[in-house]
Structure 1
Amino acid sequence: MKYRIGIDVGGTHTDAVILNQQQELVVKVKAATTEDIGTGIKKAIAACMEQSGIDPVQVTHAMLGTTHCTNAIVERHGLSRIGVLRIGAPATMAIPPFTGWPQDLMDAVFVGSEIVAGGHEFDGQRIADLDEANIRRIGREWCGKVAAVAITAVNSPVDTVDELRAKEILTEELGEAVHFSLSYEIGSIGLLERENATILNASLVAAARRMVDGFEGSLMENGIQHAQIFLSQNDGTLMRSSYALRFPVLTIASGPTNSIRGAAYLSNVQNALVIDVGGTTTDIGVLVQGFPRESSLVAEIGGVRTNFRMPDLLSFGLGGGTRIRELGAAVQIGPDSVGYQLPQKGLVFGGDTLTATDIAVAIGQASLGDPAKVNHLPKPDVDTTYRRMVELVEEAIDKMKTSADPVPAILVGGGSILLPDRMAGVSEVIRPANFDVANAIGVTIAQVSGQIEKIYSIVDWGREKAVADAQQAAMSEAIAAGAKEESIVIVDMEEVPLAYLPGNAVRIRVKAVGELSI
């Protein structure tokens, strides 16, 4: 028998599960998230192995969902020192790289940025010849100073040749140890946002390496030595650890999408709202055909505007550990939380801090801890506070719906015990079995995906040939990420005519998904 182990690191708990070959749950564990993250992961894996009694040799796949890279950006900690090369002079000189970046984030990663001649127009015509001599000079200046380089050429989704040639030259000058992030592999059309996503990706190389090494070490310490390692992406699918080291930015916002995929699997519902309540926040996402709905808005990460794919999520400060102040009509709910210290600080656990969990216990919605420890709270004030907690969720539900019609809502996450069985705007509330570890189950059962976005001239390519090329490219990306070739299917394709371009141009985005390769 072969098994998979999946771990999802949240702000309060690190959840771990083991599934068998039939994707049936064998064991589930909740361990407190630790300050260094790694210790909590080790404890969760150890508890899983001990409770299941499985031989570590039988664990063939290990999956991790974590906010490690997101935290590195938000906290400005553990980022790589990078050089940024833009290929687009003289057309793109007006707005330099790092425009609009928070100064503290720029200070954490900046070694240098340069703009050199080259790049293409929207229709593929060259703006200027690539300035190879200048790129070589820049490489010599950065040698020994940069851990990674972000390369962005104007309209590289149309023609990738300049980014690839610049990488060749800089590799000769900087050596093979330096990581390269190329914008055509990461972002969409739109120079500045694509460049920002590429810079963030390059800056996360060291953080991703620590994350992968730490996960491998945690597995090894528990006797799991030969498992294939996968990390969750922010579209609800997986990628090999080697692929994640190339594109660590794709792990950002992956935590909530694990819960969305887990909710779909546990409830067998393909289209619904998913309400994931943790210890610190509530995240609301939308299931469309079993996958998270993708946001159409510009994504802002750590204060930086980007245009790469992100899930459509609404997060707000309501969780099991959310602090409650001023009971009654003037109640203040959060947004701060006691987080993983809830078992020590919550009133029902003998602590001295009033939390959302205490309110749920006082009103009879939840049953845990010692209810006698919240009997002193005035009932009218408790009722008012609980109604306001539910209203926060109902308001968020309205914001995420695309029509006024009620839709089903799937409740997952340990903190979802706070919420009632009926809410406004929801046709039914679904609480699937094992809802408390939906995030870990979501990362464990996930498929592997590849996605591409390219611009084609229909006059030059013809529609059928352009679509076939885009689909093949997406399938190749899925294989690189770890998918079994014969299992890959195209699950999403979008064609957007670009009327402002000559040649009857069209932007084609394709997503391919397949099962894990064994």
Structure 2
Amino acid sequence: MIIGLDVGGTHTDAVLLSSNGIEKKVKVSTDSADLFNTILSCFTQLLDNIDPKHVKRIVISTTLTTNAIVQKNMEPVGIIVSAGPGIDPQAFKIGKHYYCVSGSINHRGREKAPVNKMEIEDIAKKLKKAGIEYVGVISKFCVRNPSHEILIKRILNKYFKKIFLGHHVSGNLNFPRRIVTTHLNAAVFSLYKSFFEAVKKSLAEKGLTIPIQILKADGGTMSLESSMSFPGQTVLSGPAASIMGAIPYAPKKQDAIVLDIGGTTTDIAFLVDKAPLLEPVGIRRGQYKSLIRSLLTDSKGIGGDSTVRVKDKELTIGPDRQGPAMAFGGPEPTLTDAMFVLGLMTDGNQENAQKGIHNIAMELGLTDKETADKIFKKCCSVILKKTFEMIDRLNSKPVYTVHEFLEGYKISPRKILILGGPAPYFAKKIEELYHIKTIAVPESSVANAIGAALARTTCEVSLNADTEQGIVTAHEEDFAEPISKTYSDENLIETATTLLKEKAINSGANPDNLTEVEVVEFQKFNIVRNFSPRGKIYRTKMQIKPGLIKGFEKVLQ
């Protein structure tokens, strides 16, 4: 049996699955101040009368890091940047404690200027005095040669709790995004560490000793331990869970919209022939452009608990959430209360819901039922307007799926898949209003937890070989080996495949789920000096594609 857990901002959903289907499902309120008891409550209900030894896999998705970024609830951290010639790294300044230092490596990985050790010592003392506990270190061409980052880390180790290095972030060359990504990892680490400890403690309470997987933004999983080195990977893992939960129900050879309507936000995504769209460079949220590989999603601040009010005789919904619906003891009328008035929902305080909607109706000069219907229609309209604005933006540039690059492709959805508690009501209303085939995904209220449970482990490696220098490297993986002048592109792919599969297994993958390996990028250059060939440079990137694990097909029927 396997467990999927989706820790959302409003609710935490959990499912227990076997090869026969869903054995048990639970939904509890998320207490962000006490995640231990939130998670423990889920495990307690799921495992009632179940021997924990029967559970072989647990996958958790969480909005914790996403919320920290959106709410700017991140720890102040130190950033030390080594660049050399080119654009002044002050142009990429992030945070208050940002230092540019001497020392540089060129694009071939050769040192052009050494690190000034005394300079690093002085900066370390300043950061320590400012109360900084976590530091990021980024050298411009660290993916070619990380020696400067490693040296700076050695100097800093005695001063700080943890040092994050830029060359561990990604094999891609993008200095500004590498700075941002390293900063995010350091800034959310303390918060994520609390989550990590809450999960471990709650598992120990229930006698669960199996390795835990965390869902990443690209729709794949990594081990809980691995995620501690790269907590930024869990940004947008909540929307990724929704997409993975919707894939089985998407049409073949067609485009589909995925809407996950939660209590606070609605997440929007797209599938092309059952394949999720991909952010080709990395996640962008507000001012932050990162190298964090991600499925392409966006969010709108509107959901079941969004506050409904009248401003200048106009009905507005969200983006704020003042608490639960009045039907569940909240202070302000919400979309959920409108659904009570329309008779779509009944398991709460009907009188309170009616009272909240009646106040809105009085301001609009409508009956309670007319007002509730107006609220519901407006909510559908706001969500679909945001969705079609996204489609217009996507159709103005190349489209990337997790499988391929689609140049000139125009997204034209023929189906909408809806997840979340109110999915069945929204599916009916949206189809009625917009005449697009719309369905609530089976088990829509916990489909995101199912998507998390069934997601397979994904990862990627970037490998560089230089036959003139006689070395092949994947500095992101701390890998380097000598090679001969005869090293070929076949040798490169073989080395990369071995590294990729080792990384996947170390990240918690089942060897049976390592068949979806593909070459994402391949480049070959001749090195010519004084009209004479001196060697070759090879570069490749390989990945294990996002998808679902085998053996649980009945869950999706």
Regarding TM over 0.5, the answer is: yes
Matched-pair contact (CA < 8 Å) for 1:260–1:291: no
Cα gap change, 1:364/1:424 in structure 2, threshold over 3 Å: closer, same or farther?
same
Cα gap change, 1:243/1:184 in structure 2, threshold over 3 Å: closer, same or farther?
same
> What is the percentage of aligned positions where both structures have the same residue?
24
Alignment counterpart, residue 40 of structure 2, candidates 30, 38, 42 = 42
Give the superposition deviation at 1:510. 2.6
Rounded Cα–Cα distance in structure 2 between residues aligned with 1:492 and 1:425 = 39
Matched-pair contact (CA < 8 Å) for 1:333–1:389: yes
Q: Which residue identity lines up with residue 362 of structure 1 in the other structure?
A: V
String of CA shifts for 1:101-154, please: whole Å, max 9, x gaps.
4xxxx35xx3x6342212222xx1536143263576358636796533322121
String of CA shifts for 1:428-464, please: whole Å, max 9, x gaps.
2222321100111111111111123456679997544
Rounded Cα–Cα distance in structure 1 between residues aligned with 2:435 and 2:149 = 49
Give the superposition deviation at 1:83. 3.3
Match in the other structure for 2:542? 510
The count of aligned residue pairs is 489
1:324 aligns with 2:331: no
Superposition map of 1:368-379 within 5 A: 368-369=347-348, 374=354, 377=361, 378=367, 379=369
Match in the other structure for 1:224? 207
Cα gap change, 1:312/1:361 in structure 2, threshold over 3 Å: closer, same or farther?
same
Alignment counterpart, residue 415 of structure 1, candidates 422, 425, 444 = 422
Match in the other structure for 2:22? 25
Matched-pair contact (CA < 8 Å) for 1:83–1:149: yes
Alignment counterpart, residue 51 of structure 2, candidates 33, 55, 77 = 55
Alignment counterpart, residue 95 of structure 1, candidates 77, 82, 89 = 89
Match in the other structure for 2:121? 137
Q: Which residue identity lines up with residue 434 of structure 1 in the other structure?
A: E
Q: Which has the larger radius of gyration?
A: 2
1:250 aligns with 2:233: yes
Give the superposition deviation at 1:42. 2.1
> Normalising to structure 2: TM-score of the pair?
0.76
Q: Which residue identity lines up with residue 374 of structure 2 in the other structure?
A: T
String of CA shifts for 1:179-233, please: whole Å, max 9, x gaps.
2322222143221111111121122222222111111112223x23412122111
Rounded Cα–Cα distance in structure 2 between residues aligned with 1:278 and 1:318 = 8
Match in the other structure for 2:376? 386
Cα gap change, 1:405/1:252 in structure 2, threshold over 3 Å: closer, same or farther?
closer
Match in the other structure for 2:288? 304
Cα gap change, 1:126/1:236 in structure 2, threshold over 3 Å: closer, same or farther?
same
Give the superposition deviation at 1:365. 5.0
Match in the other structure for 1:398? 388
**225-234 vs 413-422, which moves further:** 413-422
1:451 aligns with 2:460: yes
Matched-pair contact (CA < 8 Å) for 1:63–1:444: yes
SS in 2 for 1:429: strand
Cα gap change, 1:135/1:475 in structure 2, threshold over 3 Å: closer, same or farther?
farther
Cα gap change, 1:470/1:293 in structure 2, threshold over 3 Å: closer, same or farther?
farther
Give structure 1 stretches of 5+ with no counterpart.
none
Alignment counterpart, residue 84 of structure 1, candidates 79, 94, 116 = 79
1:479 aligns with 2:505: yes
Give the superposition deviation at 1:496. 7.3
Q: Which residue identity lines up with residue 432 of structure 1 in the other structure?
A: V
Matched-pair contact (CA < 8 Å) for 2:115–2:148: no
Matched-pair contact (CA < 8 Å) for 1:237–1:449: yes
Match in the other structure for 1:155? 141
Q: CA RMSD in A?
A: 3.7
Match in the other structure for 1:360? 339
String of CA shifts for 1:315-369, please: whole Å, max 9, x gaps.
1122111122229982111111244x23xx23xx576632112323434555554
SS in 2 for 1:26: strand
Rounded Cα–Cα distance in structure 1 between residues aligned with 2:153 and 2:9 = 38
SS in 1 for 2:279: coil
Cα gap change, 1:314/1:83 in structure 2, threshold over 3 Å: closer, same or farther?
closer
Matched-pair contact (CA < 8 Å) for 1:450–1:479: no
Match in the other structure for 1:283? 267
String of CA shifts for 1:348-396, please: whole Å, max 9, x gaps.
x576632112323434555554667549552444443332222222223
**292-301 vs 459-468, which moves further:** 459-468
**405-414 vs 381-390, which moves further:** 381-390
Give the superposition deviation at 1:55. 1.9
1:126 aligns with 2:110: yes
Rounded Cα–Cα distance in structure 1 between residues aligned with 2:41 and 2:518 = 39
String of CA shifts for 1:448-501, please: whole Å, max 9, x gaps.
1112345667999754444444444433332231113453134554337699x9
1:315 aligns with 2:299: yes
Rounded Cα–Cα distance in structure 2 between residues aligned with 1:431 and 1:140 = 54
1:196 aligns with 2:180: yes
**128-137 vs 245-254, which moves further:** 128-137
> Normalising to structure 1: TM-score of the pair?
0.82
Rounded Cα–Cα distance in structure 1 between residues aligned with 2:182 and 2:330 = 45
Q: Which residue identity lines up with residue 168 of structure 2 in the other structure?
A: E
Q: Which residue identity lines up with residue 13 of structure 1 in the other structure?
A: H
Cα gap change, 1:302/1:480 in structure 2, threshold over 3 Å: closer, same or farther?
farther
